[in-house]
């Protein structure tokens, strides 16, 4: 499974024994794979600062998860022709996400544990905010380019009634520069080819004999040229329509056709040039954002454990990876049973039942006797 449960319990002898019982039961019943989750000794600060930080970290956690999901989706969007290789581009420090989480180590260089918790949280928040700003600008530019290219490509698809004709026709198909003559393009249904050949010269006066030529076909019909005098255009169109021949409104403009082709070439070149740098940026910054997110989880466990279990700081964090979705209910029952005795400790740590402590999950529906956070790695679900 691509989810983890990050929990903590007090580090005294009784609760360490409870953790051992949990490990034994979950292992024998094949419920989860459990590892210790190491968290540094941070500067605790005041209770008020921890309460405020608890709320801020909760918001930052949600923002970070949302950001990495958007970045993962951006990788999918950019790698449109190689979606099977998306996962190998969603790494953290060069490791797959599961390995990074299960072998997590606090990055002392980026986030010195000696700093106040508020400062560490602020560093993480600013880092993620900058990544989001850059993500918006970079993906917006690429998206605009991609949309413009798709719009041009759409013109070259579809049937003869709707698609552009500039990549089908050539200068030699038309009578150009004549004051009196003009070449029209007519779509003829396939079953009516013979009828067209027999009747086009007589659909109106002043049609040039033997001037028709088939220049393109699709599943429904063919595109024919026909040359006639300009003065009979309207009459010819009316008679053609009566015979279920459709005149396409198209006038050969060499400059416009050249401009369209150059625009397509330019957009293809720009997309190719932007693809590599954008994908590299996404890979690097996805890794940075994901690493920051797991550090936020670690901070939340520390703060909530201090608020829940009190001082001095003494708790053990454990990372559980449920083996399968169907076993999560049983796993929850095991944890609630093993740590049921913590209810009294948790109640005492709240000081006043009327005080809401953000992030402590105190509702009857979500409250657990131990600190609990969820990590979902199903970023593309």
Name which of 177-181, 260-264, 330-334, 348-352 the model is least confident about.
Answer: 348-352
pLDDT tens digit string along 29-60?
999 999 999 999 999 988 889 999 999 999 99
| Sign of torsion over alpha carbons 356, 359, 365, 371 | negative
- Average pLDDT (240-268) is 88
Q: Which of 156, 144, 167 is nearest to 270 (CA)?
A: 144
Cα end-to-end span (Å), the chain: 13
Domains annotated on the chain, with CATH: 3-149+268-380 (1.20.1460.10), 171-251 (3.30.70.100)
Name which of 79-88, 244-253, 328-337, 368-377 the model is least confident about.
Answer: 79-88
- Average pLDDT (71-79) is 92
- Average pLDDT (195-221) is 95
Residue 312 C-beta-side C-alpha neighbours within 13 Å? 2
Q: CA-to-CA distance for 230 and 207, rounded, in angstroms?
A: 10
Q: Calculate the alpha carbon distances from 9 to 37, 45, 243 in Å.
A: 12, 21, 85
Q: CA-to-CA distance for 86 and 115, rounded, in angstroms?
A: 37
Instruction: Identify the bridge partners of residue 248 per DSSP, sorted by sequence position.
Output: 185
Q: CA-to-CA distance for 365 and 372, rounded, in angstroms?
A: 14
pLDDT tens digit string along 187-203?
999 999 999 999 999 99
- Average pLDDT (221-233) is 96
Band (pLDDT 50/70/90 cuts) for residue 289 is very high
Name which of 111-125, 231-245, 256-270 the model is least confident about.
Answer: 256-270
pTM of whole model > 0.85? no
Cβ atoms 377, 97 nearer than 8 A: yes
pLDDT tens digit string along 87-145?
888 999 999 999 999 999 999 999 999 999 999 999 999 999 999 999 999 999 898 88
pLDDT at 348 over 50: no
pLDDT of residue 257: 80
| Sign of torsion over alpha carbons 332, 335, 336, 342 | negative
């Amino acid at each position: 499974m691509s989810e983890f449960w990050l929990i903590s319990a007090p580090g005294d002898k009784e609760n360490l024994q409870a953790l051992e019982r949990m490990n034994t039961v979950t292992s024998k019943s094949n419920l989860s794979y459990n590892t210790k989750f190491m968290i540094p000794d941070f500067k605790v600060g005041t209770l008020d600062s921890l309460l405020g930080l608890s709320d801020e970290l909760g918001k930052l956690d949600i923002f970070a998860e949302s950001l990495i999901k958007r970045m993962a989706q951006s990788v999918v969007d950019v790698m449109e022709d190689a979606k099977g290789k998306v996962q190998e581009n969603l790494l953290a420090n060069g490791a797959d996400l599961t390995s990074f989480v299960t072998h997590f180590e606090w990055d002392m260089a980026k986030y010195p544990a000696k700093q106040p918790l508020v400062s560490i949280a602020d560093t993480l928040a600013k880092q993620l905010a900058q990544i989001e700003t850059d993500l918006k600008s970079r993906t917006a530019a690429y998206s605009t380019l991609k949309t413009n290219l798709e719009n041009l490509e759409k013109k070259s698809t579809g049937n003869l009634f709707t698609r552009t004709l500039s990549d089908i026709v050539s200068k030699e198909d038309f009578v150009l520069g004549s004051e009196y003559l003009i070449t029209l393009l007519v779509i003829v249904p396939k079953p009516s080819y013979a009828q067209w050949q027999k009747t086009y010269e007589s659909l109106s006066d002043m049609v040039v004999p033997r001037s028709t030529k088939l220049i393109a076909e699709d599943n429904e019909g063919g595109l024919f040229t026909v040359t006639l005098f300009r003065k009979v255009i309207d009459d010819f169109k009316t008679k053609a329509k009566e015979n279920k021949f459709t005149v396409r409104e198209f006038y050969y403009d060499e400059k416009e056709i050249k401009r369209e082709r150059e625009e397509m070439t330019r957009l293809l070149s720009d997309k190719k040039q932007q693809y590599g740098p954008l994908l590299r940026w996404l890979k690097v910054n996805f890794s940075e954002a994901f690493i920051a997110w797991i550090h936020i989880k670690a901070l939340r466990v520390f703060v909530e454990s201090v608020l829940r279990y009190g001082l001095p700081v003494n708790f053990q964090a454990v990372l559980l990876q449920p083996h399968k979705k169907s076993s999560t209910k049983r796993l929850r029952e095991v944890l609630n049973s093993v740590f049921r005795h913590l209810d009294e400790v948790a109640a005492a740590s709240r000081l006043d039942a009327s005080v809401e402590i953000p992030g402590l999950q105190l509702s009857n529906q979500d409250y657990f006797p131990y600190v609990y956070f969820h990590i979902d790695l199903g970023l593309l679900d």
